[in-house]
């Protein structure tokens, strides 16, 4: 029931995320959720995102009904040969995943930045808030092989 309420509240797309774990952390039903996210433009990379999911009991007792904390952790790894599609190469990177963490004002995002000098894909999980930013973030990297870099350079 708790997941159905949360899913109804979430407005941003989580279509490319698959729930792979749910860890109970206390007696009121707060959980740590673990989702697998495949990068739609980079075949052979999967990221696992962990975040805190507040229970209905916690929401009733603490208030702030429509918002979850910004805390998250991310780890990305090679799951096979990497084929890089049409990715943004600028310093601002591009969104790989976004999921609402409040009714309107906050989302949890994963951005990919290509560090061309070091041949690395950088994945950053962070909260995006409408009114003010958040310093809570997590980062993970996936190094590309020389062959993968050569294929990317030929695009």
Task: Look at residue 148 and give its three-state secondary structure.
Answer: helix
pLDDT in tens, 60-86: 666 665 555 557 889 999 999 999 999
pLDDT reported for residue 60: 61
Give pTM, 2 decimals: 0.76
Residue ranges in the chain modelled with pLDDT below 50:
1-15, 103, 130
Number of domains in the chain: 1
Structural domain boundaries, residue 44: 2-153
Dihedral sign, Cα of residue 1, residue 12, residue 60, residue 71:
positive
Distance between CA atoms of residues 101 and 107, nearest Å: 5
């Amino acid at each position: 029931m708790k997941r159905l309420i949360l899913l109804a509240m979430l407005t941003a797309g989580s279509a490319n995320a698959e729930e792979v774990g749910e860890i109970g952390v206390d007696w009121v039903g707060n959980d740590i959720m673990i989702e697998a996210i495949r990068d739609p433009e980079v075949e052979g990379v999967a990221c696992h995102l962990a975040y805190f999911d507040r229970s209905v009991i916690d929401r009733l007792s603490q208030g702030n009904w429509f918002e979850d904390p910004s805390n998250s952790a991310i780890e990305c790894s090679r799951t096979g040969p990497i084929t890089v599609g049409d990715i943004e190469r600028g310093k601002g990177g591009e969104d790989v995943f976004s999921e609402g963490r409040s009714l309107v004002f906050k989302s949890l995002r994963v951005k990919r930045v290509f560090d061309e000098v070091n041949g690395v894909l950088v994945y950053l999980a962070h909260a995006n808030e409408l009114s003010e930013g958040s310093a809570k973030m997590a980062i993970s990297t996936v190094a590309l092989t020389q062959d993968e870099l050569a294929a990317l350079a030929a695009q």
